[in-house]
Structure 1
């Protein structure tokens, strides 16, 4: 049950602050001083000056799984020289228009990268480690693929 901000006393471990700037533009910040601008596209009456909230879910997914893959390949002593992750999504037509389908495409670069190690790292991230992916998977389908460029 919601209460006015003044009456709330409980603080959960992860917190961000979202402040309205103007129009449909907001700035989100955390307790460490990081910030990001959010806006909606001009076609949706925004200024297009930042990521949209739904885009940020895809950004978070890419970052979350990227961290997993880099760490896991490092533990496997794989020499990763580059990683680019493209995350695309399709939203349901009706409100709340959650993502119904998400595709994650990994492009890895590195001399001697073993296909088995890459596959294992990505699968582990997708199926067990990445909490953002688990959140998106709860409402929709998530699929992934990867390619390896030998340097």
Structure 2
């Protein structure tokens, strides 16, 4: 990826379009938002693959990310909780193992696991 400086931040072009990154939310995604989105996006993608492989019926998956930042350390992300809401059939008794596999196989979570505590919770809806 190539990044260039713009008037309001940094920009890169991707296959899907232009990605603007800025400290000012009015001009692009803030860097910490991209980090949180990477953790959530990777986790939910891995979970969906696992559910599909196990041939479990899932209608919907939503994930909410709550981040805990340390203002005394430049806003460092110290913890992220990913909360999954899963709507499907036959999931009872299987989700603990699926959550374990999701965390183990998400490259983004594994990339930051020594520096950021990532917790994952779920509820069946």
Aligned match for 1:29, one of 4, 8, 13: 13
Aligned length: 125
**Shift in alpha-carbon separation, 1:124–1:47, aligned structure 2, 3 A:** closer
Q: CA RMSD in A?
A: 1.9
Unmatched segments (≥5 aa) in structure 2: none
Q: Secondary structure at the match of 1:70?
A: helix
| Whole-angstrom distance in 1 between the partners of 2:52 and 2:64 | 21
- 1:123-138 aligned at under 5 Å gives the runs 123-126=100-103, 128-138=104-114
Alignment of 1:44-83 (within 5 A): 46=24, 48-83=26-61
Gaps of 5+ in 1: 1-15, 41-45
The answer to whether the 8 A contact 1:38-1:53 is kept is yes
User: 2:93 — aligned with what?
Assistant: 116
- Assess, with a 3 A threshold, how the Cα gap between structure 1 residues 83 and 37 changes in structure 2: closer, same or farther: same
Question: CA distance change for structure 1 residues 63 and 93 in 2, over 3 Å: closer, same or farther?
Answer: same
Per the normalisation by structure 2, the TM-score is 0.86
CA offsets 1:7-52 (integer angstroms, 9 cap, x no match): xxxxxxxxx22222213x222234x454322222xxxxx3523210
Q: Pick closer, same or farther for the CA change 1:87–1:19 going to 2, 3 Å.
A: same
Match of 1:3 in 2: none
Q: TM-score, normalised by structure 1?
A: 0.73
Shift of 1:53: 0.6
Q: Distance in 2 between matches of 1:94 and 1:47?
A: 21
Q: Which is higher, the Rg of structure 1 or of structure 2?
A: 1
Query: 1:93-123 deviations in whole A, cap 9, x for unaligned?
Result: 334542111111001112x131233322221
- Larger RCO, structures 1/2 (Cα 8 Å, 6+ apart): 2
Deviations 1:65-104 (A, max 9, x none): 1111000000111111111111121122334542111111
